[in-house]
Amino acid sequence: MARDALKDIANIIDGISTIQDLDLLYEYALLKLRGFTNSTAGSIYLREGNDLAIVYTQNEALTTSDRLKTLRVPINESSLSGYVAYTKKTLNVPDVRQIPAEAPYKFNSSADEKTGFVTVSVLGLPLKVSGNSGDLLGIVQLFNAQDENHEIIPFSDDDLQALEIITAVISIVLQRIQNLRWVLLRLTGVVQLRDPEETGAHISRVGGYAIEIYENYAMKNWIPREQIDETKIFLHFAAMLHDIGKVSISDSILKKPGPLTAREFETIKNHTIDGAKIFEDQMTDFDKMVYRVVLEHHESWDGTGYPHGKKGDEISVFAQIVSIADVFDALVSRRVYKESWAVDQAVEEIKALSGKKFSPELVDCFVDALPFLLRVRSTYPY
């Protein structure tokens, strides 16, 4: 293997190994795998029971791959992706139109028919748990390798060893992130048990909304890309933990079907302070961010919020972002005391609160990021 190729592999592995967010892992890993093989498209599937569920796609030939978002494939030998998952072995198909008749797998053209893409060469690589078990995590599929003239060619067998090393690293990082997310989801699950409004989908949507609003804000403020990506990881989890302090509130208040008394509302306010205490040691940058998000996400731009009546830039920008994300999701969600609002109606309400509850700058970022927020909303349905 050429020295330049080894350097490329080392750089890819180094980049992947530092990632701490699933979405960033999918994006970066697939982009680098496609670059290494000069392929036009790729997909990542994760195992869900006896099926593969597509979680991320990249395709230079299409403007969108949303139509593939619901694609599920049984784990068996009948399809190309199912075969890779079932056998947990790499599969290199030079041309899907010339698969031998005796092969157990066939090419399913339904995705091509939905999107207009034309699949020729396919490479499937398993993602497996490290260690002796080798349990399946998912698979990566790459489509249509190209030569220097952009003609479609088969994937090179000479690259397979390198690609299998890279996907082994992807598997390790995927496990690590999934384990961290599992712990955090268990923490948020405690809140869900206590507060019927804090569903898993709501928490995931708020986390997703927050990082999309932050992305827009960061780009407008010329924050370096590396810093944006690292901050998004922390903010995503901080947003999911924003109401962790509700574990300290009694069920008689949290689950009360009617309006709260003034005294009960004062008790509810304490969830910000109680939750922040969990992270008050602030040993890491993550602790610092979560501490301020938990403590300040009910503060208001004009100083009328709680618990400390902070105003303007006294409030952490991350807490301000989570506040907008939380209110937007509450408005468009059905509650026992109200019906869900239409998205347009909720957006107008957020805009009306600009300069009052919310930072005018961040309201503009929210509006600009709305198409991405709606994508998050469709990923975590009600």
176-192 pLDDT per residue, tens: 888 777 777 667 666 65
| Predicted pLDDT at 356 | 97
User: Residue 199: pLDDT above 70?
Assistant: no
CA distances from 273 to 59, 171, 276 (A): 46, 38, 5
* Distance separating alpha carbons of residues 357 and 338, to the nearest angstrom: 21
User: Residue 50: pLDDT above 70?
Assistant: yes
Which element (helix H / strand E) includes 17? helix 3-17
Range with lowest mean pLDDT among 36-50, 180-194, 217-231, 357-371: 180-194
* Distance separating alpha carbons of residues 69 and 66, to the nearest angstrom: 5
User: Residue 67: pLDDT above 50?
Assistant: no
Q: Can you say how many angstroms the Cα of residue 244 is from the centroid of all Cα atoms in its chain? A: 20
| Predicted pLDDT at 65 | 45
CA distances from 126 to 3, 47, 88 (A): 26, 11, 5
Between 349 and 253, where is the model more confident? 349
| Predicted pLDDT at 260 | 85
| Predicted pLDDT at 66 | 46
Give the torsion sign (CA, 202, 192, 311, 320).
negative
Between 311 and 257, where is the model more confident? 311
* Average pLDDT for the chain: 88
Q: State whether residue 327 is helix, strand or coil.
A: helix
> Is the overall model pTM greater than 0.75, yes or no?
no
The tens digit of pLDDT for each residue in 114-130 reads 888 999 999 999 999 87
Q: Can you say how many angstroms the Cα of residue 243 is from the centroid of all Cα atoms in its chain? A: 20
Between 232 and 178, where is the model more confident? 232
Cis peptide upstream of residue 126 (ω within 30 degrees of 0) = no
